[in-house]
Structure 1
Amino acid sequence: MRSTLSSIQIARYIISFSWLYHGIFPKLIHIAPLEKLMTASLGLSNELSYLVTKSAGVGEVIFGVLFFLFYRNKAVVLLNIIGLSGLLIFVVVLQPQLLIEAFNPVTTNIALIGFSVILLLEFKHEINKKNPLYSHTDSKNKESV
């Protein structure tokens, strides 16, 4: 028996993995130079910058787990879109030169926002399929084709 992942599950895994990875590796296990640059651009001391970066890593790991568990909650998906947009704006304002680097926030955040939009559209499609009016109008549309 062959099992395939739905687009919902693929989006769920990719978004969750991204939050977990970006929280664990460049912030908790080893603070990446880019992370230091970002917090330094806020004018924080080295100690405070370290704490902010570690706290952000913990927050990202927590959100990654929450997203994995509650990916069907529209508020969680919208919070993901808002968070990713906010992080992108943060880079645009404080470190715009990073926007032209390889694997930059434009390519990663917009792709993750796109996966979030796919989730929202798939959830809407599932709800419409369960609605009897949807099934009735859908069959009429098929007949007229």
Structure 2
Amino acid sequence: MTKLHRHILLGIHATLATLWIYQGLVPKILVQAPDELRIWALQGVTADHAVILMQMSGCAEIIFGLLFFILRKSLCLHALNLLAMLLLSGLIVWLDPSYFLQAFNPLVMNLAMATLSMIAIALIQDAKNTDLNR
């Protein structure tokens, strides 16, 4: 892997880590954003339980984000990120597709995060193939 590819991959990991950590910390734990609570309410969860589940999911997102700093060569981590983007987008489409019509919507964030993982997968696989051919 070239120095440029390592820097690009590091940038991708730092970006994905920051996005996951931010999304877990700010709207779910620190602020408890109304839209986040509404997603749980749409699933039939009571307000009290929604807060608890939202904070738990926020912690899970923070942990997942931290993994991008730890597992820098993991294809599995990026595959999980792609799956998460697909499933989270699907959940929102199922619960309330009107979220996709808003200015700052799940499609924009999820597509960008998925694309970063696709680029990371290509870089990691290319590095592995280069190492095998040496």
Q: Match for residue 76 of structure 1?
A: 77
Q: TM-score, normalised by structure 1?
A: 0.85
Q: Give % identity.
A: 25
Q: Match for residue 99 of structure 1?
A: 100
Give the deviation of 1:50 after TM superposition: 0.9
- Structure 1 residue identity aligned to 2:67: L
Indicate conservation of the 8 Å contact 2:14/2:68, yes or no: no
State the Cα deviation string for residues 59-98 of structure 1 (Å, max 9, x = none).
1011111122113111111111111111111111001000
Q: What is the aligned length?
A: 131
Q: Following the alignment from structure 2 to structure 1, what is the Cα–Cα distance between the partners of residues 132 and 65?
A: 31
State the Cα deviation string for residues 87-140 of structure 1 (Å, max 9, x = none).
1111110010000111211000011000000000001111222233xx7xxxxx
Q: Match for residue 115 of structure 2?
A: 114
- Structure 1 vs Structure 2 CA RMSD: 1.6
Q: Following the alignment from structure 1 to structure 2, what is the Cα–Cα distance between the partners of residues 68 and 102?
A: 30
Q: Following the alignment from structure 2 to structure 1, what is the Cα–Cα distance between the partners of residues 86 and 73?
A: 20
- Structure 1 residue identity aligned to 2:90: I
Which runs of no fewer than 5 residues in structure 2 stay unpaired?
Answer: none
Q: Match for residue 24 of structure 2?
A: 23
